[in-house]
Structure 1
Amino acid sequence: MMQFKAWNAIIAMFVCLIGIVYAMPNLMDRKIGAGLPIGFPGKQINLGLDLRGGVHLLLEVDANVLIQERLESILGSVRQVLRDAKVGYVGLGIRDNVIRFTLLSQIDKTVVQKITNSLSSDLIIDKNSNNILLSIQKKTIRQIKINATQKSIEILRRRIDETGTREPLIQRQGINRILIQVPGVNEPETVKNLIGKTAKLTFHLVAIGREANQQFSSILTLPMLKGGNIAIDRRVLVSGENLLDAKPSFDQNHQSTVTIRFDSSGSYNFARATTENVGKPFAIVLDRKVISAPVIREPILGGSAQISGDFTVQEANELALLLRAGALPAPLKVLEERSIGPGLGLDSVNAGRTAAVISLILIVTFMIGFYGLFGLFANVALFFNIILIFGALSALQSTLTLPGIVGIVLTIGMAVDANVLIFERMRDENKAGSQHLLQVLDAGYRRALKAIVDSNVTTLLAALFLFALGSGTIRGFAVTLSIGIVTSMFTAIMITRMFIVGWVRYCRPTRLPI
């Protein structure tokens, strides 16, 4: 155990050097560190919401909109199928998330059962006399909510990531709730404006004149961005789901616009719609509000178009970002919002720094007082252990939270635990008095190693379970604890032993200095 070959020393020093390189930028000003290119060794550690300040939002996905859309789709199919089967009915409509209608003939109940079974296996049929009630199964409603929440999380992450915000926390809570924490943003309205818009883009024909009432099966009246209302055909000619890209741009009059580009399917639909309706106004609708309704001058065949609406540069940038990220499947409701100022985060950082310094001073004093020269070796190894922890956090670009600082403080205490076990074992072997110093040192390492590995592995397993099963700041604590355990074992077994072997080789001592 006391043999320490040259290549072992080279590996140990190389690892420590890498740790120093990655940890060094954390001593720089954050503005200087933020200017370092992505992937540069030693990128600064990201501070979490509780250390840097930021915005905390709890959102709820309004899945009732999706359920209503599903019921409307089923309603249209039911109406068509009943007509085709020549089944008499009255009062067909949706009330309280249930499709209701009354049969004119008792004989038609069996026919209705076959028809509804053919429409969807998710429907529950309740027949009370001639009154028929159709509703969606609870398990299907639950799955609709889960799918909508998961898709909303993906879109929200794309929206927030495009703003350049690093390490936002976006996770599902329950069936249809989403927790968002955005460090470094102190205005909740900024985040709410970004994530609160559904960004559902559609293109419709404008209903003008009496002919429109005959031409269109259903007309919808919507407000316009510039004020007033406009009647449009409810039928969607082109959907924003077919968008490939959206970028802010300027028109010939130097007004801010948004240039959009469709995929192959969207390009085909857009080309057909503009070709068949030359000379007619074409409404561009965003979240049930008409942005503009330009007249189609000529067919647009290139798969791209320009949206104008007297935007400011910032509004054009925000609209392009929302369209690129995609439309939310359903509206979001803000259930809870909190803003944590940078001052509170600074207080947390200072408190964590104070706790770390105090614990470090106590440990250094204890180790030197109890173990003398070997305690000094252990303290130097502890110094490298702290460097390696911060270097690993920087390399992994982990987000450091207040529980993460607690994990670091805890590992500072645990880091010397392995050395304490080794040194105490050396004392026990030395008290036997029948062994040479080298045998004492070797026995101390050899016999303490099993206890060190067992204790650290069990703690590491607990930390890994916390990371796998926990969320948010719990995972931050698990990350720092796991890294600290690995680095403390490395410094105790490699760094401290390298110092002791070097001391033995060059000083040739005859007695144990503890």
Structure 2
Amino acid sequence: MLNIPLWKRIVIATVCALGLLYAMPNLFYERVEGHNDAVKAIEAAGATPEREAAAGAWPGWLPSGLVNLGLDLRGGAHLLAEVKVADVYATRLDGMWPEVRDALRDERATVGTIRRQPSPPDQLRVRISQPEGMQAALSAVRALARPIVSLTGVGSNDIEVQGEGDVIVVTLSEAEKQATDDRTIQQTLEIIRRRVDEVGTREPTIQRQGDDRVLIQVPGIGSADELKALIGTTARLTFHPVVGRTANPDQPAGARNLILPSLDDPATYYIIEQTPVVSGEDLTDAQPAFDQNGLPVVTFRFNPAGARKFGDYTVENVGSPFAIVLDNEVVSAPVIREAIRSGSGQISGNFTVEESTQLAVLLRAGALPAELTFLEERTIGPELGADSIEAGKVACLVAFAAVLIFMAFSYGWFGIIANIALLINVGMVFGLLSAIGATLTLPGIAGIVLTIGMAVDANVLVFERIREELKGAKGPARAIDLGYEKALSAIVDANITTLITAVILFMLGSGPVRGFAVTLGAGILTSVFTAIFVTRLIIVIWMERRRPKTITV
């Protein structure tokens, strides 16, 4: 008969209370959002009176998780970028030149002198003076090949080496190109994610599309141009020996040299060695700061390997200038006054505070491995998001009112009980979304509206079954007990199939589709819980107090 043990009642009540408690911060969205931002700012940069006031606007002992608003609700920027993966091939082959040179020097008696030749971006060409030693040269260079570490490249090497007369041609193998493409895209995604996270945006969407494209959607950012300025710069920092200065960018730079413009003086160009002494890959930290004159600078620190290379170079070149190069522009070219063994230094220039802060963000996040070409960009204003939120509220209220009225007129007192459970259900949906840090999008609102309609399905099944049992002259308690027992299989089957659909949508979909899947899945879980446990508990408590001889459903 109808009997729910005390411990089950406590568990059901506790779950409902926790769900509503975690949903409560969304009723005070701006206050809680300001509290969360202030707490993060205090942890990162210390306390100020304004931050402490914002942090104190919400009690610290209460949950502070919010349902994050997606791009279509909050406004923000949308970018679709193409990664120029072919650029990485040239960088990779250029980096192999020292190894190839050293390997051929060991065979100098056989191959003679060696000289690097002008090459296409996807080739490294080296000429030897003694063509009869070509086989020994090919063997020496092939010994540099390494196995490819990837599922698709098992058993393959990373380079292919061929001879053309007296020229050795080194290219990347097709398997290595594919592996390099995958690594480049993954590295690009990670670096973009770091750069976006550095500025504190919420729930960005950063994912791969196709073979060489990346989708970036960042809610809350001002414009697509602002997002492009943050992630579009490769921020490749390198340190080069300076060969000289010139005012003519078209003059010959010399073998293995480059002519780069000065960031501070457009009329000045620096001739630098192409091979850097140290690169930004050896950086461990970069922070905005001020120099002794109060001007904005960026301080940096190398890892042990970078500090050793930087220190060795400064020891050997005291009194010589060296160039700090950022994205093919010479930021500064100071003269080495003394050996720098600490592994740290600073980048100075005509920076504003905002520029120094952004440069530090870019350097901390790391350099993009390849240039990005933006194929599509959109800025979604917050006004559009506010309109979407308002439309979603209206849709939810209309659906909610329609369901409440239908259930009350169709099932009387039992319909009112189902409506109480529906109110709890909607609160628990938002509590669950807040607890897992989910992002609510416009399709997600559609998922909540659909959940409101589906939430009473289980109650309809139970109530109709109770009606059938009452027609069989069963007593009220027995009819209710059999109604829940016999409707359970239909409720579970219907909701499991819908949950499977939501899981598939989440796994295979992207962006808005995943947002819909998340809210639909959360709604299914809370709907089943409220229909099977909450409504039954309310009915049992009502039956225990009123003990009716007959009931009407």
Query: CA-to-partner distance for each residue in 1:212-258, whole Å, 9 max, x for gaps?
Result: xxxx9732211111122011222322222121111111111111111
Quote the residue 2:528 is aligned against: 489
1:95 aligns with 2:97: no
> Aligned residue pairs: how many?
508
Quote the residue 1:22 is aligned against: 22
Quote the residue 1:283 is aligned against: 323
Once the two structures are TM-superposed, the CA of residue 318 in structure 1 deviates from its matched residue by: 0.8
SS at match of 1:230: strand
| Structure 1 outlier segments of 4+, above 4 Å | 37-40, 74-83, 87-91, 99-113, 124-134
* Contact 1:425–1:444 (Cα < 8 Å) also in 2: yes
1:183 aligns with 2:183: no
- Amino acid in structure 2 at the alignment position of 1:388: M
1:322 aligns with 2:362: yes
Query: CA-to-partner distance for each residue in 1:368-391, whole Å, 9 max, x for gaps?
Result: 111110000000000000000011
Quote the residue 2:434 is aligned against: 394
Quote the residue 1:240 is aligned against: 280
Q: Which has the higher contact order (CA 8 A, sep 6+)?
A: 1
* Contact 2:20–2:428 (Cα < 8 Å) also in 1: yes
Query: CA-to-partner distance for each residue in 1:13-71, whole Å, 9 max, x for gaps?
Result: 22222222221222225255332457851432111011111100011111121111223
Quote the residue 2:7 is aligned against: 7
Q: Work out the CA distance in 2 between the residues paired with 1:425 and 1:209.
A: 90
Q: Work out the CA distance in 1 between the residues paired with 2:84 and 2:546.
A: 74
Counting only pairs closer than 5 Å after superposition, residues 26-45 of structure 1 correspond to structure 2 as: 26-30=26-30, 32-36=32-36, 37=39, 41-45=63-67
Counting only pairs closer than 5 Å after superposition, residues 244-259 of structure 1 correspond to structure 2 as: 244-259=284-299
* Contact 2:79–2:215 (Cα < 8 Å) also in 1: yes
1:65 aligns with 2:87: yes
1:463 aligns with 2:502: yes
Q: Work out the CA distance in 2 between the residues paired with 1:132 and 1:217.
A: 19
- Amino acid in structure 1 at the alignment position of 2:512: T
Cα distance change, pair 466–365 in 1 and its aligned pair in 2 (3 A): same
Quote the residue 2:260 is aligned against: 222
Cα distance change, pair 128–271 in 1 and its aligned pair in 2 (3 A): closer
1:86 aligns with 2:122: no
Cα distance change, pair 89–294 in 1 and its aligned pair in 2 (3 A): closer
Q: Work out the CA distance in 1 between the residues paired with 2:186 and 2:528.
A: 40
Q: Work out the CA distance in 2 between the residues paired with 1:458 and 1:147.
A: 37
1:450 to 481, 489, 500: 489
SS at match of 1:59: strand
Cα distance change, pair 109–33 in 1 and its aligned pair in 2 (3 A): closer
2:313 to 273, 293, 318: 273
* Contact 1:274–1:300 (Cα < 8 Å) also in 2: yes
Quote the residue 1:204 is aligned against: 240
Once the two structures are TM-superposed, the CA of residue 109 in structure 1 deviates from its matched residue by: 6.2
The TM-score, its normalising length taken from structure 1, stands at: 0.92
Q: Work out the CA distance in 2 between the residues paired with 1:308 and 1:102.
A: 42
Query: CA-to-partner distance for each residue in 1:421-475, whole Å, 9 max, x for gaps?
Result: 1111111111112x22211111001111111112212222221222223222222
- Amino acid in structure 2 at the alignment position of 1:203: F
Q: Work out the CA distance in 2 between the residues paired with 1:461 and 1:20.
A: 26
Higher mean Cα deviation, 337-346 or 35-44?
Answer: 35-44
1:374 aligns with 2:414: yes
Quote the residue 1:169 is aligned against: 205
Once the two structures are TM-superposed, the CA of residue 5 in structure 1 deviates from its matched residue by: 2.5
Gaps (5+ residues) in structure 1? 211-215
Once the two structures are TM-superposed, the CA of residue 359 in structure 1 deviates from its matched residue by: 1.5
Quote the residue 1:52 is aligned against: 74
- Amino acid in structure 2 at the alignment position of 1:69: T
* Contact 2:111–2:134 (Cα < 8 Å) also in 1: no
SS at match of 1:248: strand
1:301 aligns with 2:337: no
* Contact 1:42–1:391 (Cα < 8 Å) also in 2: no
Query: CA-to-partner distance for each residue in 1:69-119, whole Å, 9 max, x for gaps?
Result: 223344565566567342799994323634567899986665565355334
Cα distance change, pair 417–338 in 1 and its aligned pair in 2 (3 A): same
Cα distance change, pair 87–428 in 1 and its aligned pair in 2 (3 A): farther
Quote the residue 1:114 is aligned against: 139
1:192 to 205, 216, 228: 228
Q: Work out the CA distance in 2 between the residues paired with 1:73 and 1:205.
A: 17
The TM-score, its normalising length taken from structure 2, stands at: 0.85
Quote the residue 1:334 is aligned against: 374
Cα distance change, pair 464–511 in 1 and its aligned pair in 2 (3 A): same
* Contact 1:407–1:480 (Cα < 8 Å) also in 2: yes
Once the two structures are TM-superposed, the CA of residue 10 in structure 1 deviates from its matched residue by: 2.3
Cα distance change, pair 135–294 in 1 and its aligned pair in 2 (3 A): closer
1:151 to 160, 182, 187: 187
Once the two structures are TM-superposed, the CA of residue 136 in structure 1 deviates from its matched residue by: 2.4
1:419 aligns with 2:419: no
Cα distance change, pair 88–202 in 1 and its aligned pair in 2 (3 A): closer
Once the two structures are TM-superposed, the CA of residue 9 in structure 1 deviates from its matched residue by: 2.4
Quote the residue 2:545 is aligned against: 506
* Contact 1:21–1:42 (Cα < 8 Å) also in 2: no
Query: CA-to-partner distance for each residue in 1:271-291, whole Å, 9 max, x for gaps?
Result: 222222111112111111111
Higher mean Cα deviation, 115-124 or 139-148?
Answer: 115-124
- Amino acid in structure 2 at the alignment position of 1:22: Y
Q: Work out the CA distance in 1 between the residues paired with 2:256 and 2:124.
A: 20
Higher mean Cα deviation, 35-44 or 389-398?
Answer: 35-44
SS at match of 2:374: strand
Q: Work out the CA distance in 1 between the residues paired with 2:163 and 2:386.
A: 64
- Amino acid in structure 1 at the alignment position of 2:258: L
Q: Work out the CA distance in 1 between the residues paired with 2:369 and 2:492.
A: 50
* Identity across matched positions, percent: 47
Q: Work out the CA distance in 1 between the residues paired with 2:399 and 2:5.
A: 34
* Contact 1:142–1:175 (Cα < 8 Å) also in 2: no
Q: Work out the CA distance in 2 between the residues paired with 1:470 and 1:264.
A: 43
Q: Work out the CA distance in 2 between the residues paired with 1:350 and 1:32.
A: 20
Gaps (5+ residues) in structure 2? 41-59, 146-156, 247-253
SS at match of 1:311: coil
- Amino acid in structure 2 at the alignment position of 1:344: L
1:404 aligns with 2:440: no
* Contact 1:359–1:413 (Cα < 8 Å) also in 2: yes
Once the two structures are TM-superposed, the CA of residue 338 in structure 1 deviates from its matched residue by: 0.9
Q: Work out the CA distance in 2 between the residues paired with 1:41 and 1:334.
A: 40
Q: Work out the CA distance in 2 between the residues paired with 1:236 and 1:112.
A: 27
Instruction: Give the RMSD, CA atoms, in angstroms.
Output: 2.6
Quote the residue 1:213 is aligned against: none
Cα distance change, pair 405–202 in 1 and its aligned pair in 2 (3 A): same
* Contact 1:169–1:179 (Cα < 8 Å) also in 2: yes
